[in-house]
Amino acid sequence: MRKYIILLLIIFLIFVPDNTEAKNEGYEIVSKLSKENITLYAKKIGSLYLC
């Protein structure tokens, strides 16, 4: 039983979904740094972007 739990944990840690394209409604990507895997989303109101 312990072997199966360890196997499941390894599978979940290896195959963690990396969903950086998930968006909130009304927000858009304003900056993305691929090297550090950082994405900045902001909402545009008029001519201004609010984070």
pLDDT at 20: 53
pLDDT at 3: 87
Instruction: Provide the CA 22 distance to its chain's centre, in angstroms.
Output: 6
Average pLDDT over residues 38-50: 86
pLDDT at 21: 57
pLDDT at 30: 87
pLDDT at 11: 81
For the stretch 1-42, pLDDT in tens is 888 898 888 887 777 655 555 556 778 888 899 888 888 888
As a whole number of angstroms, the distance between CA 46 and CA 38 comes to: 25
As a whole number of angstroms, the distance between CA 4 and CA 24 comes to: 36
Angle 40-43-48 (CA atoms, 0-180°, nearest 5)?
Answer: 105
Give how far Cα 21 sits from Cα of 4, 32, 40, 51, Å. 32, 11, 11, 17
